[in-house]
Each structure stands twice: as structure tokens, then as C-alpha cells.
Amino acid sequence: MTDRRRFAALVAAMAIAIVLAVPGPGRRTAAARAAEAGASAPSAPSAAASPDSPGSDAAPAATDDGSAAPALKADESLGLPGIELPPGGTGAGSASASLPPAAPRPRSEIERLWLDAGARPERVARAQGIARQLGVASFDGAARALLLDARGEPGPDVAHDAVRLAPLLPFARGEEARALLRSGDPIGALLALARGVATLDGQLESSLWLRAHALHALALALSWGGLAFLCVAGAASTRRASHEVGDVLSDEIPPWRRFLLVGALVLLPASLGQGAFGLALGFLALALLGGDAGWSPAVAVAAAACWLGAQPATSLAARAIAAFDGDPVAVAAASVEAGSAHAGELARLEAATDDLLAVRALAVHARRTGALGLADERYAVLLAQAPHDATLLNNAANVRLALDESDAAIRLYERAVAERPSAIAYFNLSHAYGARIRSSDQDYALARAQAIDRELVGELTSLEANVDTGLAIDLPTPLGVLRDRLQGAATHDAVAAELRRGFAPGWLGQSPLAMALATGGVGAGAWLLGRGRAPTRWCRQCGARCCPRCDDPPENVATCRDCARTPRRKDGHDTARRSARLASQRDRERRLRPLWLAGSLLLPGVAGLRARRPMLGVVGAIGFALAIAASPLGSDAPVDPLAAGLPGRAALLLLALVGALVHLGCGALASAARRS
């Protein structure tokens, strides 16, 4: 019987080794897939590409003293930085290939005003007014140029002007906070930093950067936090699991050989190329085979966290990272919205005439360059496809108003406020009523705008002094439209494989189904094997083994036979021996208390397991991993494209602080539960 068990165990180990070692038909490593993706598909030009438009004959921008600002060149200062991708990248698809040579593009009104010579405050005021009128809510390119011209140490006045140009750019808010702190205003710096954190999700690049970092940190926290708990639970179950596995093979195997056998089985998947995920499989089996019965739900949750972090969460993070390389039309449309599109991007939009997002961007560009007839034609096409889009209705009405078609503009404005009332649409409607000398209607529309947002109406009224023509405000394309389009591009597989390689480099990690089946199969097998036999226990008082197969059956499931009988004699209680034993246990507890405290703080999951609250251990382990992943120690997601700046780093530190508080809170709850 013993030989049969040994032979069966050997066959099972060989089968597991063959399954894990053979890559299977059609499977490739992540590196090969990334290299193939990079070689087969031309990558889209990054949004940071230098514009093709001629700028050598433009008037150089001047500083306060009238001298030219060399860093503010028309062909390099208004670029939209992109997001760096892992080596191998993601292909952009055929839309970026074989573009016809682009003709020099006309400059928009906002660019002409900003590049004109003059003092900085005057140019800022003019550019701010015309940018707001043309729907550029945040003139990021000019703000970046203004800050970079200051050699990284802008004064408070320069930083404030950058914030006026780009109120939605967190990078500008962060530089304003730095400048205020250098000038001796810590309260103002803290408020500026808080405003920058609040605007992180309102700017396209910073929102994608923040989502990429946050999702990547969450993926790392789930996968590595779950692995940490499994390692702690498995290590705590090693003694029992090694004894149980040895009993399955032979009762005569010595303890040290049993430990070596269990260690080899635990490390087998990792040694066959499955990496940290293979280690998780080994410790999952160890925890379910030798752990307490009450640990099973927490161990299952930890294994599920490993799968969630390595698969869905990593895929979501990859979508955000690959966003600016996934859809060249959406990238070009985003550049148009930011006021920094170059000739190549405009040519790409012209080639995508069947794409409504491209037509929308071209309509915006035509309006900003003064081609009102072309803009009107394109808005007519868009409204035929989306007649209930309040943003399109408002912007099309602005074009009609600029063409002196006030009645048509009024009808479009009224449709816009009927679809979605907004302060800007009512403000524009009041101007259209004023052009037709309808004073009562004008007063009513202006009152409605003030009722919705009085502060915004006051700001727009003050900006009219810097605009030569009437102030009709375009609405920007909703941020969600651009972000969803960029993240929805199906070009993130290579990026996801690259991110996943650190945790699951083998072929199991590249397939969500294979990873789930491996986790479920190993867990179910270990649980059935461990629960199908009477478990071995160890005395809580003296640590002696109580095996129902190897030792005499104990009278008490918590203590051995000797400890259960020691306190009693035939004539009553042996108080002296009981007191000595209790004193010894208290002394041992006192000596081990610092070690347990250090272990609870540094080893995630220890506090929960020691207090018999394993679920607290899982949550604490994930919080511990989140604190590390969101901190600068674990930051290896995309580089900041001069968008998030100091507020972005502050937001990630807040996320790391939340993870640390979760870890410490779970440890405190576990300690309180153990004391009670």
C-alpha cells in the first residue's frame, strides 16, 4: 500500500510539471507578443510630436521688458506631451500610415494673439479672453511654455499668469504652490495644491495619468497583497501540511524529509516559469491543506485578489497607459481641443471624414481659424447625426451669430438650453437677443445664466473687455467623450502583458481563464485533501503533536493528554504546578510580544491570523501593498507629461496614506479582538 501511494504521488508530480512546463499550442511569451505588436503595426505619432506648421516667420513672444522669449517658439512650445509606454509599445493601426503631405495650416486666433509681441500681462489677458471664447477651457501649451521659460523656478506672478491661462492644468497649480511656498506663503501654497488636486480629473492628460497610476497601484495591491497573505498563511500551516503530506505517502518518513518534500511541491510552479503566481499557487495549497478550517474563506478571498489584480485591474490600467497611442484620430482631436494641433494631426483628421469625432474637431478648428462658412457646414453635418447634443447646438449657434444670422442662432441657442440648461448657453443667448434688440428677453436670459452660476457670468463679463468682438462662448468637447474614445481603443494587450509579467510571467498568467482554472483547481484539490482526513493538531500549551493516526487520541482538541491531566490529582487540584505553568506562559507571552508587534506591522496578515480574524489579515495585506505601490517606491507607471505635476504626486501619496491606514487599522482591530 505504501509503494502504491509513493508511485501515485510521483505520477501526480510529473503530470503537474508537464502541464506547467509545456507552453501549449499558439501561446507566446509577453515579450514576443509585445515585439510582434511593435513590429507589425506602425505606432501613432505621440501627441508630443513637434508641429509641422511653419513658425519661423511668426513674431517672437516678448517678456515684460520687451525682449524675445526664446523658449516660446511657435513650432515647439504648444505641443501636447504624450505618455511614455513600455518597450515594444502598442501599434496605432493603419490610420497613422501613409498620410499625404500636409499643407501649412493657418494659425488660430488664440495662437496669433499669444505669439504677438508685447508685455506678458497683456498677452495673458488677451489670450485668456479669446481662449474662453473659442472653447479652450485651459490653454495648456502656453501655460507650460510660460513656466518652462522661468527655468523651473517661476515667481508667483508668472505662476499666477500660467494658472490664468490654464486653470484646469494641475501642473500649473503645482508650480503656483511651489512659488507661493518659496515666497513665504505656506497657507496659500497649501490651498493652491488642494485646488490642483481637485482639477486632476478635469484635464485629459492628468486624468489619464492619474487613472493609470491609481489602477496600476490597485492591481499591484490586489495581486501582491493577496500573495503576501497566502505566504503568511502557508508558512503558518507548514508544520501541519508537511505532516499530512508525509502521512499520505508513508508513516515512516522523518519530519525533515517531509518539510523538504512540501517545500519542493510549493516551489514547483514557480520553478517552472510561473513566477510569483506560481508561488501563490503553492502557498494556496499549503494554507488550505494545513491551515485551520476557519481560514478557508480568507484564503479563497486572497487567491481571488491575486487573480483580480493580475487580470481585470491590470487590463484597466493598461487601457489608461496606452490611451494616447491607441487611437490617432482621438489623439488629434484632443490636440485640437487643447489648441495645439499640428499639421500632421489636422491631415489625419481630414483623412477620417467618416468619423464624427474627426468632423467635430475640424469644425472646432475651422471656427478658431476664422473659416466660419466651413465650420457652419461641418456643424450642420454633426447636428444631422446628433440633433440633441447641447454642446454642438451651442457652438453651431455661435458660428451663426458670427455670420450675422441672429435668428438662426437664437433658435439653436433655445434648443441648447432646452436640452441642457447651462450658464454659458444662456449667456450666449442673451447676446443673441441683444443683437436683435429684444431687451426683455436679453434680461431674462442673463438672469437665468446668473441663477445657474453667478460667479462664472461675472468672470465672462469681465473678459469682454479683452475681446474686440462680442463674446460668444464655445463649449469644449466633453472630457468623457475623448477619454472614453482613447481608452476604448483595443491596443492595450501588449502593455497589459508587460505590466503582468512581473507577477505572472508564465503562460498561465497571460490567459484569464487559465489563471482562474489553475487557481480554482489547486485550491479545490488542496481543500478536499485536507478536509477528507482527521487533522493533526498541536497542543496550545506545550506544543506537543496530537495526531489521530500517529499518537494516542487526545481527550481535548485544544490540548494534549498530559496538559489536560496535569492540573488534577486524585485528591484535588495541583495548584503549585498550575501556577508555575501559568507563570511560564505569561513570561513567554511577555517575551514574544515585541516580536509579534513587529511582525504585525511589517508582515501583512500576521495580526489577523494571530487574532483568529483572517479576513482582517487579507484586507490589511492589500492595504500594506497599496501603500507601497502608490508611493514613489512602487511608481513605475507612465511618466507625468507635464500635466499632473505636484498635485498628481500629492494625490498618489494620499492614496498610499489610505493604504497604510487600512493596514494599521486592521492590525489594531485584530489586536483588540485578540485581547478581548
Estimate the crossing angle of helix 120-133 against helix 454-463, to 10 degrees: 120
**Residues above pLDDT 90, as percent of the chain:** 22
Point out which residues pair with 572 in neighbouring strands. 569
Supply the pLDDT for residue 195: 93
**How far is it, in rounded angstroms, from Cα 52 to Cα 342?**
6
Average pLDDT of span 450-464: 84
Which of 57-66, 315-324, 509-518, 521-530 has maximum average pLDDT?
A: 509-518
Class of domain 336-487: mainly alpha
pLDDT in tens, 369-379: 888 999 999 99
Q: Select from 463, 462, 458, 464 the least CA-distant residue to 446.
A: 458
Per-range mean pLDDT, top range of 8-17, 26-35, 135-144, 276-285:
276-285
The per-residue pLDDT of the chain, averaged, comes to 75
429-450 mean pLDDT = 90
Question: How far is residue 510's CA from residue 548's CA, in Å, rounded to a whole number?
Answer: 43
Q: Helix count (H) and strand count (E) of the chain?
A: 31, 4
Q: Which of 312, 310, 313, 322 is nearest to 487 (CA)?
A: 322
**Does the pLDDT at position 215 exceed 70?**
yes
What does the alpha-carbon distance between residue 413 and residue 398 come to, in Å, rounded to a whole number? 9
Least confident window among 46-60, 508-522, 555-569, 615-629: 46-60
Highest-confidence segment of 30-44, 141-155, 403-417, 548-562:
403-417
DSSP 169: -
DSSP output for 111-140:
HHHHHSSS-HHHHHHHHHHHHHHTT-S--H
Tell me the three cell numbers of residue 81.
506631451
- Which are the contacts of 4, defined by CB distance < 8 A and separation ≥ 6? none
Query: What pTM value is reported for the model?
Result: 0.71
DSSP code per residue over 90-110: ----GGGSSPPPPPPPPPPHH
Q: How far apart are CA 278 and CA 241, in angstroms?
A: 18
What is the torsional sign of CA 557, 561, 562, 567? positive
Angle in degrees, CA 136, 140, 143, rounded to 5:
120
- Beta bridge partners, 569, equal 572
Q: Identify whether the C-beta of residue 428 lies closer than 8 Å to the C-beta of residue 408.
A: no
pLDDT of residue 295: 83
Residue 533 pLDDT > 70: no
The count of residues in the chain is: 676
Residue 175: closest CA among 572, 516, 559, 649: 649
- Helix, strand, coil fractions of the chain, as percent rounded to 5: 65, 0, 30
- The pLDDT assigned to 397 comes to 93
Determine phi and psi for 156, rounding to 5 degrees: -60, -35
Q: What is the DSSP string of 527-587?
A: HHHHHTSPPPEE-TTT--EE-TTTSPPPSSSSS-HHHHHTTEETTEE-HHHHHHHHHHHHH
**2 or 527: which leads in pLDDT:** 527
Mean pLDDT, rounded, for 143-171: 84
DSSP state of 506: S
- Residue 31: predicted pLDDT: 36
Average pLDDT over residues 191-219: 90
Residue 664, pLDDT score: 87
Percent of all residues in the chain with a pLDDT value above 70, rounded to a whole number: 68
Instruction: State the pLDDT confidence band at 662, using cuts at 50, 70 and 90.
Output: very high
Q: Where are the domains of the chain?
A: 48-81+107-198, 336-487
Answer whether residue 566 shows pLDDT above 60: no
Q: pLDDT at position 63, please?
A: 43
Residue 419: the pLDDT is 92
What is the mean pLDDT of the segment spanning 335-358? 86
Q: What is the pLDDT of residue 593?
A: 66
CB atoms within 10 A of CB 125: 18
Q: Could you give the residue ranges of the DSSP H alpha helices within 420-478?
A: 423-435, 439-452, 454-463
**Phi and psi for 642 in degrees, rounded to 5?**
55, 40
pLDDT tens readout for residues 571-617? 445 567 667 766 776 776 676 666 666 666 677 777 777 778 889 88
Q: Count of alpha carbons within 13 Å of 23, Cβ hemisphere only?
A: 11
Residue 618 Cα distances to 222, 295, 601, 605, angstroms: 10, 11, 14, 6
DSSP string, 243-266: HHHHHHH-TT--HHHHHHHHHHHH
pLDDT, tens only, 15-74 = 444 334 433 333 343 333 433 443 333 333 333 333 333 333 333 344 444 333 333 333
What single DSSP character describes residue 70? T
- pLDDT value at position 218? 93
Beta-bridge partners for 546: 537
**Which one is predicted more confidently, 322 or 187?**
187
Q: How many CB atoms lie within 10 A of CB 380?
A: 12
**Which has more pLDDT, 121 or 329?**
329
Contact call for residues 523 and 288 (beta carbons, < 8 A) = yes
Cell of 546: 496530537
Of the ranges 79-88, 299-308, 507-516, 542-551, the best mean pLDDT one: 299-308
380 pLDDT above the threshold of 90: yes
- More confident call, 400 vs 539: 400
pLDDT at 194 over 90: yes
Residue 572 backbone dihedrals phi, psi, to 5 degrees: 135, -155
**153 pLDDT higher than 80:** no
